[in-house]
Amino acid sequence: MLLLSIIFLPLIAALLLALLGGDRAVARWIALLAAVGTLALSVGLFARIHSHGSGIELVQNRTIVDSPVRPRVEWRRTWMTIGEITQVKSIAQDEIAAENNEAGEAKSEEVETVRTPVRLEFYLGADGISVLMLMLTAILTVSAVLISWEAIQERATEFYICLLVLEAGMLGAFLAFDLLLFYVFFEFTLIPLFFLVGIWGGSQRQFAAYRFFIYTLAGSMITLLGLVALVMKVMQEGLTATPFSIPDIAAALQHHPLPDNWQIGLLLALSAGFVIKVPLFPFHTWLPLAHTEAPTAGSVLLAGVLLKLGTYGFLRICLPLLPAAVASFGVPVFGTMAVIGIVYGALGALAQSDIKKLVAYSSVSHLGFCVLGIFSLNSEGITGGVMQMINHGLSTGALFLLVGMVYDRYHTRELSELGGLATRLPILSVCMVFICMASAGLPGLNGFVGEMLALIGMFKAKPLYSAIGATGVVLGAWYLLDMLRRGFFGPLKEPASAHGPIHDINIRELLAVGPLMALCLWIGVNPKPWLDTIAIDVRSVVKLYDQKPEVSAQNAATDLTASIEGTK
């Protein structure tokens, strides 16, 4: 029920807003309450999972104990009985033998066909990875509501409705453990985001909204086709009676893997939607425009959470279900794309004069680290990839918030028109420097943990990718520091065009960005509790790829914590 209420709280709040239709003052308070409430619920879920440690006591279904994907809390209801699966089973052997002795009949006739209904399910669950993503989504939504407080003047009620519906969609995607249900939420998030970008975006908002929607939809249609083909194949092989449930299907495929050529075909189809969503080079072209044109809250959620749906999809669907194809085909292909993305994104960011566009390109680069980590296929790398998902959400979310604050004050984001803001906006500049350091991967802050683990993981698997990827860290420091130098230090330069009196960051804005900064520091200084949360989930996936006795993720985490403390 907790799982259900996490999705429904923002939805109910959105419905309430739609029915009451109140003005801006009421709408934003309701939205804030709902967002904070959802955050509280997801922290509650985290506490519940954390207190149960490694156990899966909360799950009744025992068949998935051995599965590479193991939700630790679950809630299942039948959605649609799509058809029947016919499994041919021999009747108990000794009975047949007894009959044969008497009648001498042929043995092969004595089989029983078992018909089991095949169901789509509302199958919600949570494991360590998804609960972290839930908390990230919830906290970024609170920030998104706070940053829109004054910025959104027109059609504010509708704005908060879209924001809350988007939140529900993202939370649902992270909670879904049914293949189709995941796809439903994955696809559904397009709708509110289309309106967020299209109505409240910048000057090219309509073009950006259409382009982002159609581009993403076209990719996800191929993913849907892949899902259908995967489920049908599993059904025809008679592997499991619940071919839509990710844990069950993963458990079945673990022992009866699909033929290699099928795996590669399915991986190609499934990943079509994910590579566009992440986005990996060369499918990133929709991203800079959509990020730049979206309102600040939209950019925060788009960069902070929605891009993670792609990497989460790789992690949740491709890795556990298609191990052979991922190892033989996925690693070189997606690894290469990720490495190119890291370098290309960083160079792209270096060339920008619009701060928001710079941050958008930096996302392409940072998401490359996530993918690199995930496709290293060992516990260090995947742990790093997941941590990088969280870290990028926090730091890029905060960067977009800060850029939004600068834009609210000066109505420009052009670096050529700004300079020396540190003297005019000291506190905001402190935040900016802090977040840039976190984003650039300064040891002691969160970016370092994720990037290091991802690179270490990849170095163990494919040193070359890791070596090229590491240049992204240097380039990242370069473009971020360059942005700081041009925009925030040096002699004061303010745009000539009219703008109101400039005040430094206020309490509300500080409340939006402060918690994110605190988390950046916390994860950087003490990553262990976070790494522990995901350790078992990572380990169960890695088991598929690792035949030899492995250093468990938890040990790796401990080693890393020690090494970080050593560097300090």
From the list 139, 118, 127, 156, the residue with the least C-alpha distance to 24 is 156
> By CB under 8 A, is residue 209 in contact with another protein?
yes
Residue number, 224 or 517, with CB nearest to another protein = 224
Q: How far is the CB of 450 from another protein (least distance, A)?
A: 32
Q: Which of 85, 290, 401, 458 binds another protein (CB under 8 A)?
A: 85
* Contacts to another protein from residues 109-128, by CB under 8 A: 118
Q: Which whole-number Å values give the CA distances from 128 to 47, 175, 535, in the listed order?
A: 11, 11, 8
Burial 242-254 (b: 16+ CB within 10 A, else e): bbbbbbbbbbbbb
Residue 90 touches another protein, criterion: CB under 8 A: no
Q: Would you say 175 or 523 has its CB closer to another protein?
A: 175
Binding another protein by CB under 8 A: which of 222, 477, 511, 521? 222
Contact partners, residue 463, CB within 8 Å, separation at least 6: none
Cα-Cα-Cα-Cα torsion 114, 120, 125, 127, nearest 10 degrees, comes to 70
Stretch that binds another protein, among 42-50, 190-198, 396-404, 434-442 (CB under 8 A): 190-198
The reply on whether position 22 binds another protein by CB under 8 A is no
Provide, rounded to whole angstroms, the least separation between the CB of residue 83 and another protein: 4
SS3 state at 89: strand
Q: For the window 129-168, what string marks contact with another protein as x by the rule CB under 8 A?
A: -----------------------------x----------
Backbone angles phi, psi at 326, to 5 degrees: -60, -45
Pick between residue 212 and residue 459 the one whose CB is nearest to another protein: 212
Segment interacting with another protein (CB under 8 A) among 219-227, 290-298, 337-345, 518-526: 219-227
Nearest CA among 284, 233, 293 for reference residue 263: 233
CB hemisphere CA count around 139 (13 angstroms) = 24
Residues near another protein (CB under 8 A), total: 40
Among 2, 58, 228, 343, binds another protein (CB under 8 A): 228
Residue number, 258 or 432, with CB nearest to another protein: 258
- Phi, psi at 382, each rounded to 5°: -65, -40
Q: Is 283 in the site for another protein (CB under 8 A)?
A: no
**CB 209 → another protein: shortest distance, Å?**
7
Nearer to another protein, 271 or 365 (CB): 271
Q: Does 194 bind another protein (CB under 8 A)?
A: yes
Report, in Å, the least distance between residue 213 CB and another protein.
Answer: 6
Determine if 442 is a binding residue for another protein (CB under 8 A). no
Angstrom distance (rounded) from CA 429 to CA 184: 41
Q: Which of 188, 262, 329, 407 binds another protein (CB under 8 A)?
A: 188
Determine the residue type at 438: A
Which pairs count as long-range contacts for 347-351, CB under 8 Å and 24+ apart, including other chains? 347/475, 348/288, 349/475, 349/479, 350/475, 350/478, 350/479, 350/482
Coil, strand, or helix at residue 243? coil
Q: Tally the C-alpha atoms within 13 A of residue 141's C-alpha that lie toward its C-beta.
A: 33
Asked whether position 221 contacts another protein by CB under 8 A, the answer is yes
Distance CA(255)–CA(295), nearest Å, equals: 48
Is the CB of 71 or the CB of 265 nearer to another protein?
265
Q: Are 138 and 39 in contact (CB under 8 A)?
A: yes
CA-to-CA dists, residue 293 to 203, 208, 270, 302, angstroms: 7, 7, 29, 11
d(C-alpha 213, C-alpha 407), whole Å:
26
Determine, following the binding rule CB under 8 A, whether residue 199 of this chain makes contact with another protein: yes
Among 238, 420, 443, 514, binds another protein (CB under 8 A): 238
Integer angstrom CA distances of residue 516 from 46, 135, 393? 18, 12, 9
| Binding string, residues 167-186; x marks residues near another protein by CB under 8 A | -------------x---xx-
CB closer to another protein, 85 vs 516: 85
Contact 372, 338 (CB under 8 A): yes
Considering only 35, 39, 145, 235, the residue that binds another protein (CB under 8 A) is 235
Do the Cβ atoms of 355 and 487 come closer than 8 Å? yes
Residues that bind another protein (CB under 8 A): 78-86, 118, 158, 180, 184-185, 187-188, 190-191, 194-195, 198-199, 205-206, 209-210, 213-214, 217-218, 221-222, 224-225, 228-229, 232, 235-236, 238
